[in-house]
Structure 1
């Protein structure tokens, strides 16, 4: 499923003028043949943009539209923060949508603060609670949008993060524990099941258990970290300490709003699409804050919240044991016909049965995947998200010795399962191909 040659790149928010040379596809990306450029914010942004354009995402087939190529260029929000062994961190954020198919390069200040040249709008749903922005015949000019962040520049509709949102809840839980208001080791009952908080959190992340997510939402409410007044309209949120945490970290596009005390966090509970929001750059910065091996975060004040070693380790353990390598990395899909390699991560072997098939919680993947549990070039501590309309992935990449690359990456998109080539896939093969291409380019910069 290799893409044709990419449109030509641009240096700013404008049309392209010269051919793309770096990162054409996962199979053609060859670091040895990549341009001998220096790793800078600008060169990284150009490389990310070229990588996206090279995949020809606009040609992706849409099952919701009779299997025809999608009518609108998809929305993709992609950010990377790279940590060279010698030198300062380097970062970039590129964004695409039906209104900006050639891509925008985000303006990020010298201290890695918030994006300054984009107006982010929250995703939306109709009066019946349906996610409508991504329907084949959707008309954005007729929709009402709620501002998310930013007050200048081109508008970008931020796609619902799907289960990547569980990363926000995990961070809020870590903070709650560090304040002495909960414990990783306390029993927590939800719908007749009692388990330790750490076990609920582990399942929420490693195989994306929705039940575990609901259990932990009830804990946040019971501890008073989230409060919602009850009314005839279902109530409204009046207190949210996750938002306080994100504001103290300068992550203004991370929103975990309008969940309910009984564990509701979807559209039917008045939360979900448009209420649970993330952008790629703020997600990368959340991972930067979490990563103990990353350099100091330059945008954070000295009194910014810090995680205790115990909470950080609990969070990283779950991210490192991620079973769902099916978006930027694709090892879990190695038994699916037409498999396309993604970011070359090592698959945690704990999820494999004797025959090599993967089983994690309620998730099963076919084939003998044992080669992925002993191979790979990097560790990928990450969280995925996937629904019919959305696919996302974000995590921390670190090289398996002797490889030395280290970076954080986040991708949010509206390329959900309706664009997948197989019912067992989360998204189009173009996304793991993008992950492989980006990793190859970063390896050429970070390991030379």
Structure 2
């Protein structure tokens, strides 16, 4: 099954260049402050960390410099998870001539702090773009909601040609909002929405986890592949733990078969998660993943809070509806969390799959699930071998990280739930980061990849951000 990662055979590699970034974080500048109200401590920390990491120092291996390149970029904006060998080869050939990124990258990050009962108690959301180069803190109300952002749909070419400014509204009626922001494409984190929709069907009794679904696409997509047959349980496992595109297409086609996609989008609206939208996908094969599929970090974090099982009224939707964890049954929530906790792609906010490496920098100190660890301690996920013994890092692990990652050329993302292991400093929080910094963008200090080794496909700045937030939460909560 194809997956949305571009690995050793096809990822950009670059000889070390420029000064080493190391683990140092440059002094941060002041955030753009919201008008009125106070800013939470975690929002301050998130903004200062993002600004200090200087995401603008990455290199672009495939900058858009001509009108023809812009047309090509627009043409490749559908099913971009299924990058062709020709496209991969072009990135590889361009790596030696990588140029500084043309403008401040697009980042959308949220941290929601939880109490010991998993209830949200505080949050911070920071948006960074050419318009907000040092990060803008977004104020939220008591329901962890904002109506003061004009969310725009991602535009691959428009990020280059329109100073990072979007033109298509995601949520209507926000013309007078004080913040205008183009949401990065979520890449494979969109699979959270697909699997949420499938488990809603399970809860309604429409399907069962152990039912066999025969995926018979009536048109073939390079993203999805051909016909297959498996249990819904196994499709979900493949979709969430190693990011199978084929399994995810099958699940999405099944939602279309049951006329459940429109209902899924309406459910997100009813929950007050207005930016979560599965739009313009193809009912014939479950493919055609493109920019109308949208997610903000704040709404994604709130969805994870429901999956995590916060008790009582977690928030009220804008229409006054009380939102509770019962949007999914207890069994579906527990299954969802268990699958996310089995994530094999620990290489964005956490980088423990490269335990002990000089590069990338260490991230969230999570425990690697045993299912991926071979007898020699190395991790292999769907045939991709990372080649580092993770047992020393597992021995020192401090948290579990139930999460989903995503990667295409101009999208890098990670979204998950962090919880302390027994006896460790008691952090309990959700962290979500979306950015346009996919595998097209690399660090100046990225070393060459050894033949046959699993390369680093994201900037290590993601991991440095993850570690900084985790250390902050550990220090804040201590042993509890």
Give TM-score, length-normalised by structure 1.
Answer: 0.83
Secondary structure, aligned partner of 2:181: strand
Task: Give the aligned partner of residue 437 of structure 1.
Answer: 468
Question: Does 2:209 align with 1:184?
Answer: yes
Deviation at 1:361, TM superposition (A): 2.1
Q: Does 1:205 align with 2:240?
A: yes
Q: Choose the corresponding residue for 1:372, options 387, 393, 398.
A: 393
The corresponding residue for 2:428 is 406
Partner of 2:218: none
How many Å separate the matches in 1 of 2:197 and 2:335?
A: 13
* Residue in structure 2 matched with residue 235 of structure 1 by the alignment: none
**Structure 1 pair 294/91, CA: closer, same or farther in 2 (3 Å)?**
farther
Aligned to 2:134: 102
Contact 1:174/1:307 (<8 A) preserved = yes
- Cα offset, 1:273, TM superposition: 2.9
Residues 218/247 of structure 1: CA separation in 2 closer, same or farther (3 Å cut)? same
Distance 1:123 1:441 in 2: 31
Q: Among residues 323, 327, 332, which one is paired with 2:348 in the alignment? A: 327
The verdict on how the C-alpha distance between 1:98 and 1:275 changes in structure 2, with shifts beyond 3 A counting, is same
Contact kept, 8 Å, 1:75 with 1:414, in 2: the verdict is: yes
CA distance in structure 2 between the aligned counterparts of 1:298 and 1:312, rounded to whole angstroms: 18
> How far did residue 120 of structure 1 move?
0.8
Q: Which residue of 1 aligns with 2:98?
A: 67
Aligned residue for 1:102, secondary structure, equals coil
Offset from partner CA, 1:303-333 (integer Å, 9 cap, x none): 7652112211221111000000111011123
RMSD: 2.3
Does 2:384 correspond to 1:363? yes
The alpha-carbon deviation at position 192 of structure 1 amounts to 4.1
Counterpart pick for 2:170 among 121, 141, 148: 148
The answer to whether the Cα contact below 8 Å between 1:379 and 1:398 also exists between their aligned partners in 2 is: yes
Instruction: Indicate whether 1:54 and 2:25 are aligned.
Output: no
* Equivalent residue runs for 1:168-317 within 5 Å: 168-190=193-215, 191-226=226-261, 240-265=262-287, 269=288, 272-292=289-309, 296-299=313-316, 301-302=321-322, 306-317=327-338
Q: In the aligned structure 1, how far is the partner of 2:356 from the partner of 2:234?
A: 29
Contact 1:253 1:282 in 2 (8 A): yes
* Structure 1, 404-413 or 82-91: larger mean CA deviation: 82-91
Listed as ranges, the matches of 1:19-168 within 5 Å are: 42-65=40-63, 66-85=97-116, 89-112=121-144, 114-124=145-155, 131-134=156-159, 138-140=160-162, 145-149=167-171, 150-151=174-175, 152-168=177-193
Residues matched between the structures, number? 395
1:20 paired residue number? none
Inter-partner Cα distance in structure 2 for 1:323 and 1:436:
19
Shift, 1:222, TM fit: 1.2
Q: Which runs of 5+ in 2 are unaligned?
A: 1-20, 64-96, 216-225, 450-454
Alpha-carbon distance in 1 for matches of 2:136, 2:165: 22
Q: d(CA) in 1 for partners of 2:286 and 2:374?
A: 33
Q: Which SS does the other structure have where 1:81 is aligned?
A: strand
Alpha-carbon spacing, 1:167–1:89, altered in 2? closer, same or farther (3 Å): same
* Larger RCO, structures 1/2 (Cα 8 Å, 6+ apart): 2
Structure 1 residue 371, shift from structure 2 partner: 2.4
How far, CA to CA, are the matches of 2:157 and 2:109 in structure 1? 22
TM-score by length of 2: 0.77
Task: Please state how far the C-alpha of 1:337 moved relative to its aligned partner.
Answer: 5.0
Aligned partners of 1:349 and 1:288: how far apart in 2?
25
Q: CA-to-partner distance for each residue in 1:343-367, whole Å, 9 max, x for gaps? A: 1111112101222221222433222
Q: Which residue of 1 aligns with 2:404?
A: 383
| Mapped contact 2:353–2:388 kept (Cα < 8 A) | no
Q: CA deviation at 1:246?
A: 0.5
